[in-house]
Structure 1
């Protein structure tokens, strides 16, 4: 019986099989998409073709020629966020987008966010002078919607920054619900979709701004990301900073290709497949060599967080999985979410192409390096 749930009939090619065939063969087992997914041949070739075109006609001429491809990428972001009239900008990644947004915001510096806020985001908030207030959550770290509605009504902050899916946890957050609360109280909301974009449903949230990176579930290149804002949110100086000529147009083109591939695969089908991947991964790994899974089996994400047995160092395990078994995972130190994490963990994040054999190899290797 298939653990990860993708069964095909005779002659049918599944989503996972198509995704795998479109990419170079992995050198081992890659279950690290929450850090960096594997790019397709088409995405890799798009960046290389643009670099070649720059060499042939000059960088600025090549940039002009790339304009239709870049606009297609922006249109894809609008479609995937449901922000039909959004201003869409390419960035160097999620951190860049947050830095631009907070640096451009005038007025009161009180911001509400989840206790599990990403550590580097907290540093950026502090650097821009924002005091951070915790949103109420349940025992799993998921937003308590009713308590949040009461808190925001009685003591509204100047801004809500909401991470739809954490870097340290596969618990999906109710972004649509918190955005509705914010609209009711006139509170601007920024959504961090670094882990959620091309993974969870990001359409129709109704955020004032939503940002993400390219390299995670979108499976685009590193060093580029995207920012969608309601029209006119950013000041002219901020827009000029984002539009500065010294940007990597080739990576922007490659990201646009990756976004097109995601749309062609079908966002609903990808989300459904990733839910199955998450459930299958948790089923296989929970209890293996004493490791315990944090998320409920049916959590609608493909991120699995493993807490180690006593005396086992996840950093050492991560290193040995890579060196001895060619399996790529992520070490999670408490600094990743310093207000919520109390001990290190291991993150497993396969994409749609994971197989039962991959998960069986991971389970066996995890047992071997733990014991």
Structure 2
């Protein structure tokens, strides 16, 4: 095991089994757990608002870390309750025509938010793996530009890295705002690609607490938004981002996220991304010929997400449940509604973090064979 893997594992409670589910919810460190608890204790001692003022430096540091990972400034960043909340804030505040273009494999809950906010959705060209076709997309956007382009840089149901930087260059040349869903990408792939807005959650690859996320918006795009609350005609001395930021979120979770971001940056963003790509390759090599399953991603795809499609009738939901109940192995059953216009059948998803070893993957392979036979 590498030094990075050993440090990552040692910084966390011992796993009760085998955790291959960081794309759903990573394991926070002792430092993150302690930071959350300490802030809550401080709230009990001095009151929530006094504790909030004391936490301001930590929260500002977290915004600076998000800015570093998205290529923006700390003033462009707000905390939210998660990715869905972030996208809803953006879409509900949009003042222009409500048209948005995205790949056919767009995340189902994102599509639901687009529909709920009255957006007409157009499909961008993609290849058979779901990867955006940049040249065809450029031609389509030039001929009939939507109001917004939205890209989920790394999907929930398939570990294919999208060409986010190339799309950002295309959109910038056409003066079309690009919004990136980085729920799976932040801390996993390079997200400082020149997008106009980037949003993400804390609990995945950054290994922060649940219930907190972040939204970064460039000033030019922020000025095109009109948040619902408080009403604009009240003429209150508040910026757009101040109006977007929600006051009833968990500051303890925000403090925990700030600590997690600090740990991530201390390890080195490029180092972490390379390690995640390496563990993804290791996973696909370990499972390349497992009986009854097919690895969906190319072996060298630079992500840690591996999806397994059943080839002989296995039920990913039942297999996932058996693995948890019988072996303490946590994975994800990725259902069709995650990508309702691309995913034809459920898959089993593995999302190991940097501390996953070859021995762990061998253990999973044996357990998967048993689960497939049992259920």
Question: TM-score, normalised to structure 1's length?
Answer: 0.95
Structure 1 residues 284 and 244: CA distance shift in structure 2, 3 A: closer
Gapped regions of structure 1 (runs ≥ 5)? 1-5, 8-13
What residue in structure 2 maps to residue 326 of structure 1?
328
Note if contact 1:118-1:167 (Cα within 8 Å) is conserved in structure 2: yes
Q: How far apart in 1 are the matches of 2:246 and 2:316? A: 41
Q: How far apart in 2 are the matches of 1:100 and 1:142? A: 27
Note if contact 1:34-1:217 (Cα within 8 Å) is conserved in structure 2: yes
Deviation at 1:310, TM superposition (A): 2.3
What residue in structure 2 maps to residue 251 of structure 1?
253
Q: How far apart in 2 are the matches of 1:54 and 1:181? A: 47
Deviation at 1:357, TM superposition (A): 1.4
SS at match of 1:170: coil
What residue in structure 2 maps to residue 228 of structure 1?
216
Structure 1 residues 93 and 244: CA distance shift in structure 2, 3 A: closer
Note if contact 2:292-2:314 (Cα within 8 Å) is conserved in structure 1: no
Q: How far apart in 1 are the matches of 2:218 and 2:166? A: 19
Further displaced range: 96-105 or 302-311: 302-311
Deviations 1:323-367 (A, max 9, x none): 011100000111110000001100000000001111011000000
Q: How far apart in 1 are the matches of 2:242 and 2:277? A: 39
Question: TM-score, normalised to structure 2's length?
Answer: 0.94
Note if contact 1:112-1:134 (Cα within 8 Å) is conserved in structure 2: yes
The equivalent position to 2:177 in structure 1, one of 164, 177, 188, is 188
Deviation at 1:206, TM superposition (A): 1.1
Q: How far apart in 1 are the matches of 2:207 and 2:94? A: 31
Deviation at 1:85, TM superposition (A): 6.0
Note if contact 1:86-1:231 (Cα within 8 Å) is conserved in structure 2: no
* CA-atom RMSD in angstroms: 1.2
What residue in structure 1 maps to residue 161 of structure 2?
172
What residue in structure 2 maps to residue 202 of structure 1?
191
What residue in structure 2 maps to residue 32 of structure 1?
21
What residue in structure 2 maps to residue 341 of structure 1?
343
What residue in structure 1 maps to residue 369 of structure 2?
367
Q: How far apart in 1 are the matches of 2:167 and 2:5? A: 33
Note if contact 2:64-2:74 (Cα within 8 Å) is conserved in structure 1: no
Deviation at 1:74, TM superposition (A): 0.4
What residue in structure 1 maps to residue 45 of structure 2?
56
What residue in structure 2 maps to residue 10 of structure 1?
none
What residue in structure 2 maps to residue 69 of structure 1?
58
SS at match of 1:340: coil
How many residues are aligned here?
359
What residue in structure 2 maps to residue 351 of structure 1?
353
What residue in structure 1 maps to residue 235 of structure 2?
none
